[in-house]
Amino acid sequence: MPGLLGTGPSIEFLSLRFDLVDQPAAIDALRTLAGQARFSYLITPNVDHLVQLHANRNDARVWDSYRDADLCVCDSRVLQALARPLGIDLTVLPGSDLTQKLLDMGESAFDDIAVIGGDADLIERLRSRYPRLTWRAHFPPMGVLSNASAQEEIARFVETVPSKLVIFAIGAPQSEVCCHLIAKRGRARCVAICTGASLEFLAGLKTRAPLWMQRARLEWLHRLATEPRRLWRRYLVKGPRILAIILREHVLRR
């Protein structure tokens, strides 16, 4: 099945289209999107995203924000492993790796960056690590998903900054919902990526799992160990629900 951009294949899994692109292809696509006279966005679903989506199957606003993304890449090696018994081979492209590559490159398409989320300390740390890049930021309040005025403020900020790359760091699904709103308004001229805690890793505010744990599909365990109070429910209570969702998918496919 062709991807939304028509530049590569995609596959449907758990009612969501995943583009089967590697990092170089994704960066090429982002370059193209950044040069277009419209707003576009990339999303990086993982297990937590899919559990949230299927827990709210009738929430058309959230589902549309995922389905209408210009690029949708799998962020999770665990999700990749769970898809294989169904004969689905997802291409994994971690959002943190993609974000770091874009910032390290610092080429003209990505040298002026707007950040949605975080705080002043995060931005100062990023300026210190990447002094060649121009950083702009908007710090929305908590609860963006249920705050229409906060979403409007985010949209107006994105529409008025000269940045060609916008990084959403307010979590899912509010990042995706805001991107969908901006796309529908039709005023912004840039590309956005929704990549979770990527900037916090790069700024040194959080520690990413060592490479061997990433390859062993244990990155979730490292995050749980480093932030148990915040993440225990996500990984120990909500996360296992993906098994029932996949079982239902398997039954439907049969």
Name the residue type at position 229. R
C-alpha distance from residue 174 to each of 50, 61, 142, 210 (Å) = 14, 11, 10, 28
Tokens of 79: 């999700």
Count of all residues that appear for the chain in the document: 254
Tokens of 206: 């959080």
Tens-level pLDDT at each residue, the chain (254 residues):
444 554 579 999 999 999 999 999 999 999 999 999 999 999 999 999 999 999 999 999 999 999 999 999 999 999 999 999 889 999 999 999 999 999 999 888 899 999 999 999 999 999 999 999 999 999 999 999 999 999 999 999 999 999 999 999 999 999 999 999 999 999 999 999 998 899 999 999 999 999 999 999 999 998 999 999 999 999 999 999 999 999 987 777 76
Torsion of Cα atoms, 49 then 243 then 235 then 27, to 10°: -40
Considering only CA atoms, which of 216, 206, 232, 227 is closest in space to residue 96? 206
**Are residues 209 and 238 in contact, defined by beta-carbon separation less than 8 angstroms?**
no
Tokens of 82: 């769970």
Please tell me the predicted confidence (pLDDT) of residue 135.
Answer: 97
> Helical H runs in 130-215?
148-160, 174-185, 198-202, 211-215
How much is the CA Rg of the chain, to the nearest whole Å?
17
Please tell me the predicted confidence (pLDDT) of residue 7.
Answer: 53
The answer to whether the bond into 240 is cis (omega within 30° of 0) is: no
| DSSP annotation of 85 | G
The structural domains of the chain, with segments of one domain joined by +, span 10-253
CA-to-CA distance for 114 and 199, rounded, in angstroms? 12
Please tell me the predicted confidence (pLDDT) of residue 90.
Answer: 96
Please tell me the predicted confidence (pLDDT) of residue 251.
Answer: 79
